[in-house]
Amino acid sequence: MKSASGKLGILIVGNGAVATTFMTGVLMARKGLTKPIGSMTQYDKVRVGHGAERRYLHYGDIISLASLDDLVFGCWDVYPQNAYQAAVYAQVLRREDIDPVREELEQIVPMKAAFDKNYAKRLDGDHVKRLASASLSGAGEQIPSRWEMVELLREDIQRFKAENGCDRVVVLWAASTEIYVPVDEHVHSSLAALEVAMKADDRKHIAPSMCYAYAALVEGCPFVMGAPNTTVDIPAIWELAEKNRMPIAGKDFKTGQTLVKSGFAPIIGTRCLGLDGWFSTNILGNRDGLVLDEPENFRTKEVSKLSTLETILKADEQPDLYSDYYHKVRINYYPPRNDNKESWDNIDIRGWMGYPMQIKINFLCRDSILAAPVCLDLCLLIDAAARDGRYGIQRFLSFFLKSPMHDYRRGEEAVNNLYQQHTILKNAIREMGGYEADEEMD
């Protein structure tokens, strides 16, 4: 593995609650004013060796990880406020936890976003890319074509890297959920077809997030999709990642309810209990909740959340237990809660002789507080993967994501079991550090 020496640029799509909480926490931590609690790369340990040679080491003692001191932040957003203003507006963190790094945050000014309002109708920001030659007669004529979006984003990445003296750059999507885009084999199945559609300005099949991913990979930047958008889970982007030998990961940060589900469902399966139904509902009031209040955007999130159970509690393996359970997911926009999300899970299970039982889980969480360390871990680990020569789908990062990437063309199934995901993650750390991947995934 190449050393992590030099500056690592982290370019974030979105300058909202998640992004500003992430950036503020890193800046505070490197001043010694807080602890990066929740970050696997900063706290988790992996066993290497056996017997007398057995040791438990932090990730950074096994592989070369970028230091928090070497991170440089930039972002794009549809609103022009700098990161300090955005952090205050988000109302996730107390002012006393933001003001010590106010000067650094004020220097993080978002670049204009490559944005299409049809993909996030509830957002009204006008800090978006326009063509200098665009006619002022209509808003539609001012929006760059999809291919022009790519070119403008590439210029942004090049400029950011040069102005900040970055040796490497990772691009992370922490923006809103786009409307659901079904995979279309005529557009998304090959890189050539995707490029034709971009140049033809096919706005129905080419989401803005695809432009960000394309631009990042062409510029030699690993790309992480932190929302459930149809972006990195299409063969065209896989082909581009392999062509440019860049790693990709996605999709959708696994933070609250789905984290619980991926950890608790294996308990039911391991204990051989039956499942009749699992009802999950959320209330949240931040910008993410506002966007998801639009049915087309909620559909994207629903598909991501629903995918978890079916690969853990499998009907074909245990038909008596899991052949006919009902799985329902709801998200409700409730402004008073802001970023303080609350989730309820009602789980109807069956035990001995089919007798019914129930499990209730009420999780009062802070969405961005849970997402921020996930952002850090994904950025540091995908950078490590790139330096180790890994490219294409990074399955070992599934631990951090709701809807893990997998090659469905070959019948591959996503791994959603949290404990299996942790095994995959630990084995990848071992391999990148020159040790044997010595844990089996059952």
Which residues neighbour 434 within 8 Å (Cβ) at sequence distance 6 or greater? none
Mean pLDDT, residues 272-287 taken together: 92
Rg of the Cα atoms in the chain: 22
pLDDT at 137 over 50: no
CB neighbour burial string for 399-413, b if at least 16 within 10 angstroms, e if fewer: bbbbbbbbeeeeeee
| Tokens, residue 37 | 């609690």
Type of residue found at 70: D
pLDDT at residue 81 above 50? yes
Q: Which residue has the higher pLDDT, 357 or 142?
A: 357
pLDDT band at 299; cut points 50, 70, 90? confident
Closest by CA to 317, choosing from 270, 255, 360, 354, is 270
Phi first, then psi: give them for residue 340, nearest 5 degrees.
-85, 85
Q: Residue 5: how many CB atoms within 10 A of its CB?
A: 11
Closest CA to 116 of 190, 176, 37: 176
pLDDT at position 428 over 50: yes
Average pLDDT over residues 299-308: 72
Share of the chain above pLDDT 90, in %: 84
Q: At what angle do helices 17-29 and 83-90 cross, to 10 degrees?
A: 110
Q: Cα–Cα distances in Å, from 168 out to 44, 47, 350, 418, 432? A: 25, 29, 52, 30, 18
Identify the DSSP state of 12: E
**Given this structure, which CATH class describes domain 8-253+369-432?**
alpha beta
Instruction: Tell me how crowded residue 180 is: count the other CB atoms within 10 A of its CB.
Output: 20
CB 19 within 8 A of CB 372: no
Residue bearing the bigger pLDDT, 331 or 12: 12
pLDDT at 202 over 90: yes
- In the prediction, which pLDDT does 297 show? 76
Task: Give the pLDDT score at 304.
Answer: 64
Helix (H, G, I), strand (E, B) or coil at 205: coil
pLDDT band per the 50, 70, 90 thresholds, residue 290: confident
**pLDDT at position 270 over 80:** yes
Average pLDDT, integer, range 131-154: 76
pLDDT of residue 136: 46
267 burial via Cβ count (<10 Å: 0-12, 13-18, 19+): exposed
Mean pLDDT is lowest, of 43-47, 130-134, 293-297, 380-384, for: 130-134
261-364: CATH, from 3.90.1150.10, 3.30.300.30, 3.30.70.3450, 3.30.360.10: 3.30.360.10
Does the N-terminal peptide bond of residue 251 adopt cis geometry, omega within 30 degrees of 0? yes
**Statement: residue 354 has pLDDT above 90:** yes
Residue 61: CB atoms within 10 A of its CB come to 13
CA gap 238, 406 in Å, rounded: 10
Among 2-6, 22-26, 126-130, 295-299, which stretch is predicted with the lowest mean pLDDT? Answer: 295-299
pTM here?
0.93
Q: What percent of the chain has pLDDT over 70?
A: 97
Name the residue ranges covered by the structural domains of the chain: 8-253+369-432, 261-364
CA angle 73, 75, 76 (to 5 degrees): 175
